Amino acid sequence: MRRAAHLTVTTTALAMALSLSACGGSSGTPAAAAVTGADAVNRCAAGDLTASLGPVSTLEGDQRERQIVLTNRSSRRCAVSGYPGVQLVADAGSSWDLERSPLVNPSRIVLAPGSAAHAALRYLPAEPGVPGAFEATRILVTPPDTTTTTTLTWDDGPLLDQSGATHPGTYVLALTAG
């Protein structure tokens, strides 16, 4: 019994070693070393990133979308994952923290210098001055795993205020590459 258990452990270890060497990159480096190299990329610090808003696009119905773009401005590779913090702010000082939608699964994105990741901000527009309109003038963006916020101008008019809704039509998706 003891010999059979030893043989099973040895066989399993040999199979794992062979599969790792078979999965190596084109340089012949074992997969374990390649994974270690990828894991060695540090997360992006707030100072490594610039935030900007992409153009407006119209989705089904009245819903609109803008990309929140995080660009690596550093001279080294860094990684982001998850959701940016997004808060809309009105001139009167009221604010609205946007919900995070599970429609996109978060993944780790390695950004080379100058490359970007984006998170879609989906929202419902409203007519100016009507009841239920949130008159946003600024948007605060906080990169994942940081506490430093960038203030951008919100120039797409008021949004339908659904800050208390169970399933709001205004939300942010997880970051994706590009």
- Alpha-carbon span 136 to 116, nearest angstrom: 26
Beta strands in 42-135 (DSSP E): 49-53, 57-58, 64-72, 78-80, 85-90, 95-97, 99-100, 109-111, 116-123, 133-134
pLDDT at 16 over 50: no
Q: CB count, 10 Å around CB of 75?
A: 8
Q: CB count, 10 Å around CB of 94?
A: 13
Indicate the pTM of the whole model: 0.76
Q: Which residue has the tokens 């935030």?
A: 51
Q: CB count, 10 Å around CB of 78?
A: 18
Measure CA of the first residue to CA of the last residue in the chain; give whole Å.
55
Which one is predicted more confidently, 167 or 70? Answer: 70
- Alpha-carbon span 147 to 15, nearest angstrom: 45
* pLDDT per position as a tens digit, 131-149: 989 999 999 999 999 999 9
The H-or-E segment that residue 151 falls in is strand 150-153
> What pLDDT, on the 0 to 100 scale, is given for residue 57?
94
- Alpha-carbon span 135 to 95, nearest angstrom: 10
- Alpha-carbon span 7 to 79, nearest angstrom: 42
* pLDDT per position as a tens digit, 95-130: 999 999 999 999 999 999 999 999 999 999 999 888
Q: Which residue has the tokens 């809704």?
A: 165
> What pLDDT, on the 0 to 100 scale, is given for residue 40?
86
Q: Which residue has the tokens 């702010």?
A: 89
* pLDDT per position as a tens digit, 54-85: 999 999 888 999 999 999 999 999 999 999 99
